[in-house]
């Protein structure tokens, strides 16, 4: 029995609902905007039902649905918009200059169930920002491979390109993202301008625990770029950017960041 035949015997709505958490996480990482995420998710559901008769089982249902969601996301302006390398610095400047911004961040932190915003969540936030520095094709390919464990063949199907093209895009995207992380990350580069991980930890926690937490991470010196990238991706995979413990404060910071970009 083919995948298509099996799917016809199952409830398509149920299959789609089972993909909800992954799709939300994926679309939020692309848009950095919850409303856009929900809109694209809803449109994806509509398209899946419209096109289900064309599903031939040449890929898994998951890959087929992600292809539909990716095509819809590409048409979204927030997804298309590439962020400058200094967006995190702009967010910091906005927080330093505005009591209102500081209060929004503190109030969001106060809503966290455990009153913690850990380094995995910081690194996930940085990943969202830095991946939007990449070209759209690189961003999509890297997220699909490194966060959601799609194979190169599956990514080729999602992007409607050759597997060789995906291999090239992934190589360049990973290399570019590694360099951005290593040049900015204050955890392994004391000259890195990114303040999010260490300073925000102490700011929110109200104590000086950053260095203790840094020592518990597996990040090495800047010379171990590949190993550090793998460890960062392992941490990012653990974080649900929509429903996780730090999702509200992360979204608040991203909203402030977007407002800062729009004002300049």
Q: What span, in angstroms and rounded, lies between the C-alpha atoms of 189 and 108?
A: 29
50/88 same-domain check: no
pLDDT for residue 193: 45
184/228 same-domain check: yes
Give the C-alpha distances (Å, rounded to integers) separating 238 from 100, 133, 204: 31, 22, 21
Of 149, 125, 112, the residue nearest 22 (C-alpha):
149
Residue 263's domain comprises: 83-264
**How many domains is the chain partitioned into structurally?**
2
pLDDT for residue 155: 98
Structure tokens at 12: 């398509």
Q: Which of 60, 81, 102 is the last residue of a domain?
A: 81
Q: Which of 34, 60, 81 is the last residue of a domain?
A: 81
Residue 2 is classified by DSSP as -
Structure tokens at 37: 């995420």
pLDDT for residue 211: 59
135/206 same-domain check: yes
Q: What span, in angstroms and rounded, lies between the C-alpha atoms of 238 and 240?
A: 7
We report the CATH number of the domain holding residue 73 as 1.10.1740.10
89/209 same-domain check: yes
Q: What span, in angstroms and rounded, lies between the C-alpha atoms of 109 and 132?
A: 24
15/105 same-domain check: no
Q: What span, in angstroms and rounded, lies between the C-alpha atoms of 39 and 110?
A: 28
CA geometry: angle 211, 100, 240, nearest 5 deg: 50
From first to last of its 264 residues, what are the pLDDT tens digits of the chain?
455 555 555 588 899 999 999 999 999 999 999 999 999 999 999 999 999 988 888 889 999 999 999 999 999 988 998 888 777 777 777 777 778 877 787 777 776 665 555 677 778 888 888 899 999 999 999 999 999 999 999 999 999 999 999 999 999 999 999 888 877 765 555 555 454 555 555 555 555 555 566 556 655 555 567 887 888 898 899 889 998 887 888 888 888 887 777 644
pLDDT for residue 7: 55
pLDDT for residue 248: 83
Q: What span, in angstroms and rounded, lies between the C-alpha atoms of 149 and 175?
A: 18
């Amino acid at each position: 029995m083919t995948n298509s035949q099996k799917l016809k015997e199952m409830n398509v709505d149920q299959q789609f609902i089972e993909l909800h958490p992954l799709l939300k996480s994926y679309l939020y990482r692309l848009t950095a905007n919850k409303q856009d995420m929900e809109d694209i998710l809803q449109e994806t559901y509509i398209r899946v039902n419209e096109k289900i008769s064309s599903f031939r089982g040449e890929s898994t249902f998951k890959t087929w649905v992600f292809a539909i969601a990716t095509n819809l996301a590409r048409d979204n302006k927030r997804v298309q918009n590439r962020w400058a390398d200094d967006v995190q610095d702009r967010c910091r400047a906005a927080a330093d200059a505005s009591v209102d911004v500081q209060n929004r961040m503190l109030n969001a932190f106060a809503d966290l169930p455990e009153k913690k915003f850990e380094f995995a969540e910081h690194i996930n936030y940085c990943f969202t920002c830095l991946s939007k520095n990449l070209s759209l094709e690189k961003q999509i390919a890297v997220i699909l491979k490194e966060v959601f464990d799609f194979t190169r063949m599956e990514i080729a199907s999602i992007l409607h390109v050759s597997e060789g093209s995906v291999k090239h895009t992934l190589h360049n995207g990973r290399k570019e993202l590694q360099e951005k992380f290593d040049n900015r990350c204050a955890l392994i580069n004391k000259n890195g301008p990114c303040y999010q991980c260490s300073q925000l930890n102490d700011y929110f926690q109200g104590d000086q625990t950053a260095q203790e937490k840094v020592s518990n991470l597996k990040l090495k010196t800047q010379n171990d770029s590949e190993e550090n990238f793998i460890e960062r991706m392992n941490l990012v995979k653990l974080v649900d950017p929509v429903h996780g413990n730090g999702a509200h404060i992360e979204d608040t910071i991203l909203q402030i960041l977007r407002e800062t970009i729009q004002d300049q």
